Structure 1
Amino acid sequence: MDDETAGRAGYRRSAGSPRGAARRQELLDRVTDDLQANGLADFSLRRAARAAGATHKVLLYHFADGDELLREAVQRLRERRITGGLGAAADLPTLAQRVRAVWPILSASAESAVLDQVIGLSMYDPGRYAELSRGASRLYLPALLSFCPPGWPDDRKLQVAEMVLATLRGFLVDLRTSGDEAGIEAGLAALHRALEREEAAG
């Protein structure tokens, strides 16, 4: 069955065959590339179809709807950012240094502007888009938990990782809305000192 035939087949989702799964991933990669390059401002199923070199009916064969496609594309962007940078920070010797090294990755990577727009969408229409932001916690928390000293109890690791995630997210919003780089740098320095004290406490 070719793409056009699939699209005419009642907007059905891919049945999960190896060929269907491969085609789905190919389409998702192309839509993700477009999202990374052009942002969320006018994202639509038809725009996604143009980027994928397919029709919107074909996309609806492989994805339940435009919201599912957007969620998966945003998740793919986050995975790229984690794979591309957060792993390297884990090689640094202290928790504070690891977290400090994450900031340039979060703020300057090609994916950052789009992912920051996701925060705005989830605040503007939480009923529809909150899951886009919740997905960030599920992806970033494991990396931040791994930054914590291995001897710490799990609940302490979680508390510190949640604090770091919320703080960095706040800095990202501030960066996009105010552009106050000096203020953010001061905040990062304070976060660094707080993490050094936390780690020194054993």
Structure 2
Amino acid sequence: MDEDAPEKVGYRRSAGSARGEARRRELLERVTDEVGANGLVDFSLRRAARAAGTTHKVLLYYFDGPEDLLTQAVLQLRERRIDRSLAAADLADSTLAGRVRAMWPVLVGDESWVLDQAIGLAMYDSARYAELARTASVRYLPALISICPPDWPDERKHQVSEFILAVLRGFLIEWRTSGDGPGIESGFAALSRALDHEEART
């Protein structure tokens, strides 16, 4: 049978097939690229199908409708952002403050506006898109924990990472709503002092 035959709805039906899963990932990558470039407004299966070079019926074979496909694409964008952030942190100096500071240009990079739209969508229509907001902390928190000094106890890593995440979210909102670069830089100076103080008491 043709792997693209849209006879059933839901990609989970093809999860047992390596070929089917590879096809699903290929389609998702193409849709994710399109969402990253054009945002979430007016997203539809037909728009996604054009980007993926297929039909909306084929997408319905691999995904559980437009909300599922959009959620999967946003999660994919978020994973890309986290991976790039950690790569930037790895190239920074050895201090926690330096690693956090190095992540910032990635967090406000080209696709950041789309991820901001996703959080807004989750707040506006939580019944349909709550997962977009829930998964943000679930994914970003472990990334921040991973850049904390390795000799810190787990509880301390978690507490400091929660603090960093909350502050960065505030900076992101400020960046998106006011574009106050100097104000954010002042905030980063204060955040760096706090993190340097925390690290110095090790």
- TM-score (norm. length: structure 1): 0.91
Query: How far off its partner does 1:59 sit?
Result: 0.6
Q: Is there any run of 5+ residues in structure 2 with no aligned partner, and where?
A: none
RMSD over equivalenced CA pairs, Å? 1.6
Q: Is there any run of 5+ residues in structure 1 with no aligned partner, and where?
A: none
State the Cα deviation string for residues 86-107 of structure 1 (Å, max 9, x = none).
Answer: 2231342111111111111101
Instruction: Check if 1:34 corresponds to 2:34.
Output: yes
Corresponding position of 1:177: 177
Kept in 2: contact 1:90–1:98 (CA 8 A) = yes
Corresponding position of 1:154: 154
Query: How far off its partner does 1:12 sit?
Result: 4.6
The 1-side partners of 2:8 and 2:157 are apart by 48
Query: How far off its partner does 1:175 sit?
Result: 0.9
Cα gap change, 1:182 to 1:48, in 2 (>3 Å): same
Matching residue's letter, 2:189: A
The 2-side partners of 1:136 and 1:88 are apart by 19
Corresponding position of 1:11: 9
Query: How far off its partner does 1:171 sit?
Result: 1.1
Query: How far off its partner does 1:180 sit?
Result: 1.4
SS in 1 for 2:14: coil
The 2-side partners of 1:12 and 1:112 are apart by 29
Query: How far off its partner does 1:169 sit?
Result: 1.4
Corresponding position of 1:96: 97
The 2-side partners of 1:31 and 1:198 are apart by 42
Matching residue's letter, 1:94: T
Corresponding position of 1:187: 187
Give aligned pairs, total. Answer: 199
Structure 2 matches for 1:26-65, cutoff 5 A? 26-65=26-65
Query: How far off its partner does 1:78 sit?
Result: 1.4
Structure 2 matches for 1:62-81, cutoff 5 A? 62-81=62-81
The 2-side partners of 1:72 and 1:47 are apart by 15
Corresponding position of 1:113: 113
The 2-side partners of 1:35 and 1:149 are apart by 36
SS in 2 for 1:93: coil
Query: How far off its partner does 1:84 sit?
Result: 2.4
Matching residue's letter, 1:15: S
Query: How far off its partner does 1:160 sit?
Result: 0.8
- TM-score (norm. length: structure 2): 0.91
Kept in 2: contact 1:31–1:51 (CA 8 A) = yes
